[in-house]
Structures are given as C-alpha cells and as structure tokens.
Amino acid sequence: MERFRIEVREEDLDDLRDRLRRTRWADAETVDDWSQGVPLEYLKELCEYWATGYNWRATERRLNELPQFRAEIDGLGIHFMHVRSERADAVPIVLTHGWPGSIVEFLKVVPPLSEDFHLVVPSLPGYGFSDRPSATGWGIERIADAWAELMARLGYDRYGAAGSDWGTSISALAGQRHRDRLIGIHLIPPLAPPDPATFDDLTDAERAALADLDLAAVWESGYSREQATRPQTIGYSLVDSPAGLCAWIVEKFWSWSDSDGDIENAITRDELLDNVMLYWLPRTGASSARLYWESVTQVNAWIAGDDPVDKIDVPTGCSIFPKEIQRPSRRWAERRFTDIRYWGEPPRGGHFAALEQPDLFVSELRAFFGSLNNPQPS
C-alpha cells in the first residue's frame, strides 16, 4: 500500500484541448428536446467551456487534499481515498460509486460524513485511477471480495458498506459474502424485483414504479445493452473522442438527475466535467464499460426477479430518492432484505444523490447507521 497523488501532465491537458477544438460534429437533432440524445447546441457549449474555461488543476488540488492511496489486491492496483474521523468510536464505511460516476461524486459528502465515520472510497477496477483489468473475471462478486480484503488491510475487522448504482450491488454482495464482518449495508436504492403477489393490490407509488421500469426498458437501456454486449466497440470512441465521451456520460446525468429537464439545476458544469475527466484522463471508457459485460445480466435478473438470490439478512438501510428509476416499495424489498432497519424516502434527488443533494445523502447514511443501535419500528 502506498500514498498516491494525482499529477496530470500538462501535455495531456493540451492534447485534450486540441482534440476538443478539432471535434467533427454530428448534425443537429431533429427535435427540440433531449429525446434523441444530448442536443448539439448544449454539447458544443459544454465542450467549448471544457476547452477554454474549465480548470482541472482546481479539481486536482481538491482531490489531493484528501488522503489517497493505491494497494494491489488480487493482482490489480486499486486507488482509494481513506479519510479517518477524529471520533474514537467512528464506524468504518466503504463507499462505492457506479457508472457513469466516480469518486468525485462524493467530494461534497466526505467532510461531513468524516465527522462520524472512517471513510474508504475506492475507484472501481477499470475506473478512475485504479488499474484496468487485462483479463476477464472482475465482476461484482470479485469486487466485493476485494473491498473486504482492502478493509482488512486497513485494520477494519467490522465495517459498513454503502453505495449507489454498481455500489448498491457490491454492497449487497458484501452483506451476503462477508456477513460476519458487515455491521450493515446502506443501499441507494435496494435492488429488489416487484412482487407479483402484490399486483392485485398495488399502491400508487408501486404503480408509478412499475410504469417507470417499463419506460426505462424501452428508452433508457441502450447504453447498458451496448456496454454489456460490445464494450470494446464503444470503447474506442470513448477513449479517443472527448466530445463523444462527454455526450455518452452527460446524457445519463441529464436523464437520471432530479433537474426538471435542465441538468445544471442539479449538477454544475464543473461537476459534470470533473466526473468526465475521471474517465478521460486515465482512458477508462472501455474498461469501465466492461463491468457491464461482466455483471449486468446478473443484476438485471435480480431486478426482474428472474434469478432468485439468497436472502440477505444483515442490517440494511434503504434510501429511495424520487427520481430514481428503480424505486421498490418496502414490502417488495423485504422479500430479499430480511432485516431492514431504516427506510428513507427523501423529498428531492435522483440517481446521483451525493452530488445532487449532499445534505440529504449525509442525513440518510447517518439515520441508518444510527438506527443500528435504535432500530426503526416496522
């Protein structure tokens, strides 16, 4: 294990700006909204700002103010932040991001959370400044095992796990595969299929959740199918074209955030580009996409209920932000997670809750881990 510092070469930033200036743009969309993808005018404005106004060095300094490390685990170099609380009784938590996110999602929540928790925030294999796997096999089970090894090396015999997107799946698997070491898992949201036994007596919220799942299957799954089936093919564009990478990622931030149709109501331009840079600089467009090839079929089967999963009986906290696509009801989730101690439904926020609504995100984690000593009534 060694200390790590981000030091991007100036020539790499010059190359980025040069590529942005030489972008060969597609024709404009034939609609007046985002229904065909990122509008040309918005993407050109964003990439112009990226080339001429965005300041990577400021973000680099912010990241380097936090303790960062790399450790080789199971033959792969893993990058992570490790921020220890001053509290003697602080609970250790491993906090996991997903796609198209990165550790920069958590920059606003690390300071307040570290008042109460020791935080370990790794970059997924093939993401950020972790190594890119050169062979198959780095799916979500192996990542959950790698996180358990990382926490053991850091001296945490017992810890909590939390996350969203891929972080939800990895945290749930940690509770299943390393039950004796997990004090609890916090999921945003829990992956739990609709219960057919409830279909004759659905609540309004459950009907809305089912409708959104059906809509997402048609209109929101193209990126996932491409990355799950041909990650190498799309990977060439994501590694070579900054404008292409930006569009591929920003479209999901627009679609999945609680922004009333204007992405910058929820996430600033700098925050969007900070996140894109964690894919551009380390050239992880292809390697990050391969996690879908490794694991998305398994996760989709969990969501659909086509693949029974052993029940998970570690203490579980669930937070359902209103603009998430997957919004299982508590009675659906309880079929899989048998010891739900906390159920939160914050009033605002989408898929990138830590970035969109950091105060609510922090409150949800504190409420759950606090509930382990004061269980919430059913």
Beginning with the edge strand found earlier in the chain, give each strand of the sheet holding 68-73 in spatial order.
2-3, 68-73, 76-83, 117-122, 91-96, 159-164, 182-188, 316-319, 340-344
Distance CA 70, CA 122 (A): 9
Q: What is the per-residue pLDDT for 304?
A: 65
Q: What is the per-residue pLDDT for 249?
A: 98
Reply yes or no on whether the pLDDT at 378 is more than 60: no
What's the number of CA atoms in the CB half-sphere (13 Å) around residue 262?
3
Nearest to 182 by CA among 207, 199, 158: 158
Reply yes or no on whether the pLDDT at 362 is more than 50: yes
Q: From the CA atom positions of the chain, what is the Rg in Å?
A: 20
Q: What is the per-residue pLDDT for 106?
A: 98
Tokens 């945290």 appear where?
Answer: 171
Torsion of CA 257, 263, 266, 270, to 10 degrees: 120
Reply yes or no on whether the pLDDT at 80 is more than 80: yes
Q: In order of start, what are the domains of the chain with their CATH numbers?
A: 2-24+40-371 (3.40.50.1820)
Reply yes or no on whether the pLDDT at 306 is more than 50: yes
Phi, psi of 118 (to 5 degrees): -80, 125
pLDDT of 41-72, one tens digit each? 999 999 999 999 999 999 999 999 999 999 99
Reply yes or no on whether the pLDDT at 264 is more than 60: yes
Band of the pLDDT at 302, cuts 50, 70, 90?
low
In angstroms, the Cα distances linking 82 to 23, 65, 188 are 38, 11, 22
Task: Return the bridge partners of 187, or none.
Answer: 163, 318
Q: What is the mean pLDDT of the chain?
A: 94
Reply yes or no on whether the pLDDT at 270 is more than 80: yes
Band of the pLDDT at 297, cuts 50, 70, 90?
confident
On the 0-12 / 13-18 / 19+ scale of CB atoms within 10 A, 377 is exposed
Q: What is the per-residue pLDDT for 309?
A: 58
Task: Return the bridge partners of 71, or none.
Answer: 78
Reply yes or no on whether the pLDDT at 76 is more than 50: yes
Q: What is the per-residue pLDDT for 359?
A: 98
Band of the pLDDT at 110, cuts 50, 70, 90?
very high
Strand pairing class (76-83; 91-96): unpaired
Reply yes or no on whether the pLDDT at 21 is more than 60: yes
- pLDDT above 90 covers a percentage of the chain that reads 90
Band of the pLDDT at 299, cuts 50, 70, 90?
confident
Reply yes or no on whether the pLDDT at 165 is more than 60: yes
CB-CB neighbours of 55 under 10 Å: 10
Helix (H, G, I), strand (E, B) or coil at 183: strand
Nearest to 95 by CA among 130, 61, 58, 121: 121
**Residues in CB range of 318: below 8 A, 6 or more apart:** 186, 187, 188, 189, 190, 330, 333, 337, 340, 342, 343, 344
Contacts 24+ apart (CB under 8 A), 224-228: 224/292, 224/296, 226/289, 227/99, 227/289, 227/290, 227/291, 227/292, 227/293, 227/296, 228/292, 228/293, 228/296, 228/297
CB 21 within 8 A of CB 87: no
Reply yes or no on whether the pLDDT at 173 is more than 80: yes
Distance CA 309, CA 300 (A): 12
Nearest to 125 by CA among 113, 141, 110, 114: 141
Q: What is the per-residue pLDDT for 311?
A: 87
Q: What is the pLDDT averaged over residues 189-203?
A: 93
